[in-house]
Amino acid sequence: MLTTSEARARVLAAIKPLPATTVPLAEATGRVLAEAAVAERDQPPFDRVTMDGIALRHADYATLTRSFPIQATQLAGDPALSLEPGHCIEIMTGAALPEHADLVIPVERITVNDGAAHVEANYAVQERQFIHARASDYKEGKELLRKGTRIRPMEIAVLASCGLAEVTVAAQPAVTVISTGDELVQAGQPIAPEQIRMSNGPAIVAMLQEHGYSNSTHDHLPDDKDTLRERIATHLEQSDVLILSGGVSRGKADYVPEILADLGVSVDFHRVSQRPGKPMWFGTGPAGQPVFALPGNPVSTLVCCRQYVVPALDKASGETPPPQLFANLSEDVTFKPNLTYFVPVRIVTSAAGHSVAMPVRTNTSGDFAALAGTTGYVELAMSQTLFRAGSTLPLTRW
């Protein structure tokens, strides 16, 4: 069997980049930038006032004058006025600093009557206070977002500030998720005592959507060779990525590896030295599309999806890999089999500010309910059997 690092390397080596496409800014959330975003202009593009109040000259204030005739009122979005000596301009937050002004006094420090603003006695000022200087955030032409950046709400704000009504992003892969098994019944349908509810497929689709891959569909296929062969063949023709759940172990109805081979899918590996998810299968379809066949037990399915499928899609999208996260074990963990052990955990923050991983025990790899509320999983190396409380371990968030 391959080690987990070997399996992941084999998966990533088989992944080809997705083409770029252009989408409206409103549809770019969750996508990956296919080109850098640069500043359209200086930010701020002018000396920006940060408080409601009055704008005046510091030199006039230094003469100990505390009453200033109000020349005019300037709102945010108004062209910058030219300040006359000895006067002030009523100014609003976000407005451009009037020409010749270099001081803003907040409205809380003044009173207004008889057409003049009167500053409270003994109010100390600093030149250019409450002024957000032009280009102090960044200058025109600066690269603000790198190619490979995943677009979240904050990135949308940056892209909008660059004046981009459309954004060049990696294309969304067409992903088909297939659940196999006669025992599976969809939610809302009548169910027999010997059957179980279908959970893996919807969970895989939800995980992919959470990571930005919304073009995912789900199909349920029975344990029938002819049906499996026909439907999988169709999905191979229509999909950029195929993900199957179940049918990859050694049971008499585990037909998936055989049928994939019949359909021209070349196997890269089958079985990885890990728990959960040892029966993990990966191959490449006739058109070069990645094919993942995940074990049918729910915990195994979700771990394998996060450990192998999501990184593969991220690479295809050109996303810059995030830094590896780590957490400290909250208690001793013993694991004797010579396998890498992926342990579901809840993460809490210690008084010292460290991430502490609290192991969540699952009652076999079919106990998907135990995963509710977990943060992700930590990776225990196969070369050890005892992991002490406080040990620092690699953490993967769901």
Q: In the predicted model, is pLDDT for residue 20 greater than 80?
A: yes
Question: What does the pLDDT read at residue 9?
Answer: 98
CB 168, CB 318: distance < 8 Å: no
CA distance 373 to 130: 45
For the segment 171-197, the average pLDDT, to the nearest whole number, is: 93
Helix (H, G, I), strand (E, B) or coil at 234: helix
Q: In the predicted model, is pLDDT for residue 253 greater than 90?
A: no
Question: What does the pLDDT read at residue 341?
Answer: 97
pLDDT band for position 365 (50/70/90)?
Answer: confident
For the segment 163-189, the average pLDDT, to the nearest whole number, is: 95
CA distance 168 to 318: 12
Q: Sort strands 392-397 and 376-380 into parallel, antiparallel or unpaired.
A: antiparallel
For the segment 327-353, the average pLDDT, to the nearest whole number, is: 95
CB 148, CB 319: distance < 8 Å: yes
Q: Which residues pair with 231 in a beta bridge?
A: none
CB 72, CB 121: distance < 8 Å: no
DSSP-assigned letter for residue 88: E
pLDDT band for position 190 (50/70/90)?
Answer: very high
Phi then psi for residue 112, to 5 deg, are: -125, 125
CA distance 385 to 364: 19
Give the up-direction half-sphere exposure of residue 163: CA atoms within 13 A in the CB hemisphere: 8
For the segment 146-164, the average pLDDT, to the nearest whole number, is: 97
For the segment 126-151, the average pLDDT, to the nearest whole number, is: 98
CB 180, CB 243: distance < 8 Å: no
For the segment 221-229, the average pLDDT, to the nearest whole number, is: 92
E strands, 223-374, where?
241-245, 266-270, 274-275, 281-284, 290-294, 325-329, 333-334, 340-349, 355-359
Q: How many other CB atoms sit within 10 Å of the CB of residue 289? A: 22
| Average pLDDT of the chain, as a whole number | 95
For the segment 261-272, the average pLDDT, to the nearest whole number, is: 96
